[in-house]
Amino acid sequence: MPKPSLLEKYAQLAVHVGANVQEGQPVVIRSSTQSVELARLIAKVAYEAKAKRVTVQWTDDYVSRYSLDHMSVETLEDVPQWVVDRAHHEIEENTCLISITSPIPGLNQGVDPLKMQKAGQAMGKKLAFFQSYVMGNNTQWTIVAASNLIWAEKVFPELKGEEAVEALWDAIFKACRVNDTTDAVAAWAEHNKTLGAHNAILNQHQFKELHFTNSLGTDLIIELVENHVWAGGDETTTKGVKFNPNIPTEETFTMPYKWGTRGKVYATKPLNYQGNLIDGFWLEFKDGKVVDFDAKEAKDSLASLLDYDEGARYLGEIALISHDSPISNANILFYNTLFDENASCHMALGRAYPMNVKGGTSMSQEALTELGSNHSLTHVDFMFGSADLKVVGLTHDGQEVTIIEHGDFVI
């Protein structure tokens, strides 16, 4: 197990910086049985922060796999009413959410992608109101991670057992600025300031479109919505509470104009989608839509992602990250988006974040769609940054500004 003092610091980070739990506020922790210890610790720290009630919603990835194998599609699609009621109750009580991810790579290998997709869609539809609520930053929410044996041995194939688990904890702590010598909460206040400054420069430029090129073959133009907002680091809920949705985070990101992406993009890291590893893939866009694609590994999973719903073929996010970042420099492939997306520029297929357009969090879905904000029940990030990536911004009055050169920010 990791050093107790570091795990405690990490739990503090989840509660005080991630969710920023307020006195008297209920907390829901979503955890798998892979991360019992961290979930317990977060619950304890949340109570110390005077949470009203802490509830842990446990899942077990193996049982989930058995369910996918054995339940009929009809049963999988039949989302119980109490799940919906519970979400309504959480909204009524202004509950904040802390999710702990502890993935088991490859666990869902061999499961019928269509079955997985149908189960996901049914849940997505029934809980669409809750997703809008959370993604509209109506409450604080955060995601942290916990090491587990299978994940750790995948990330560090040269290590075995407890040694691998330790090494992954170590990498997680480093990526999250958790160490023996510094105050992690204070370090994050500083980090949030730096990211905020980056957002401010990009917001001032209000680029019409961004042009991405590298030697791998990426040549892509992404148009941005008008009055887009670059965000990253901490965010503020509609009730005025600051929080950090992702720990770690290094990105500054905004909203593509739904119908304005054209060209080809090559992924630079594998994408772990529903337990399957999609690798060596590219996407071609026309008028914002993916019109062609290929993958060396798990092409059927990529197809299933693109066919998830109408919006899954359009972009909902574009994120810029220096190639020279702590996570990128560690040069570890985590096989997990929470970490890997912070090592590289990335974009997301699916739903856009309302906060990435001025006034977006108080707009209806119809109004957002009108502006060119993509709507979907899914949101899947993939990485395309590289050491030789160039990003040029084009302003509305025709000026070209180089934003990233040789992988790193130059503005």
Q: Return residues touching Zn ion (CB under 5 A).
A: 251, 253, 317, 319, 348, 381
- The amino acid at 377: L
- In the complex, the smallest distance separating the C-beta of residue 145 from Zn ion, rounded to whole angstroms, is 15
C-beta of residue 13 within 8 angstroms of C-beta of residue 5: no
Shortest distance, CB of residue 341 to Zn ion, whole angstroms?
5
Pick 385 or 393: Cβ nearer Zn ion:
385
Q: Tell me how crowded residue 244 is: count the other CB atoms within 10 A of its CB.
A: 26
How near is the Cβ of 17 to Zn ion at its closest, in Å? 18
Nearer to Zn ion (CB atom), residue 143 or residue 171? 143
Query: Which residue's CB is nearer to Zn ion, number 130 or number 230?
Result: 230
Hey, what are 54's tokens? 């802490």
Which residues make Cβ contacts (< 8 Å) with residue 207, sequence separation at least 6? Answer: 224, 393, 394, 395, 401
Distance CA 35, CA 37 (A): 6
Identify the H or E element spanning 158. Answer: none
Helix (H) or strand (E) holding 68: helix 61-70
End-to-end CA distance of the chain: 42
Here the tokens at position 122 are 């049914």
Shorter beta-carbon distance to Zn ion: residue 87 or 231: 231
Nearest 10 degrees: Cα torsion 338, 342, 343, 347 = 90
184-205 helix and 4-12 helix, angle to the nearest 10 degrees:
40
Beta-carbon-side half-sphere exposure of residue 48 (alpha carbons within 13 Å): 12
In angstroms, the CA 356 to CA 14 distance is 24
| Beta carbon nearer to Zn ion, 61 or 251 | 251
The nearer residue to Zn ion, 68 or 327, going by C-beta atoms, is 327
What count of residues does the chain have?
Answer: 411
Rounded Cα distance between 82 and 90, Å, is 12
9 vs 191, beta carbon nearer Zn ion: 191
Q: Are 382 and 271 in contact (CB under 8 A)?
A: yes
Give the shortest CB-105-to-Zn ion separation in angstroms.
19
14 versus 338: smaller Cβ distance to Zn ion: 338
